[in-house]
Amino acid sequence: MFGIKLSIFMAVFFIVSIFITGIKLITPTPINIFVEGSDVVVSRMPGFYTFADMVIVTVSALLLGISAYIPPVC
């Protein structure tokens, strides 16, 4: 009984990790650049990942790898 509960938990953990990793990789954080002077220019530069984004992706990928191993049910 414990093995079945562990397998279900790991499967849910796997799906959640895939979802978090996918969402973070699909939606990078846009960076706004402000130039001061006589004119103010606002430019959005999409496609950059912040340090926090990379920490979330790294942890999520680590958990994805851990949860990919489902021990055999005894």
Residue 17 belongs to what domain range?
A: 2-68
Q: How many domains does the chain have?
A: 1
| 15 CA to centre of own chain | 12
pLDDT in tens, 5-25: 878 888 888 888 888 888 888
73 in any annotated domain: no
74 in any annotated domain: no
pLDDT in tens, 41-74: 666 666 778 888 889 889 888 888 887 776 655 5
| DSSP conformation letters of the chain | -HHHHHHHHHHHHHHHHHHHHHHHHHSPEEEEEEE-SSS-EEEEEEEE--HHHHHHHHHHHHHHHHHH--PPP-
39 in any annotated domain: yes
The pTM assigned to this predicted structure is 0.61
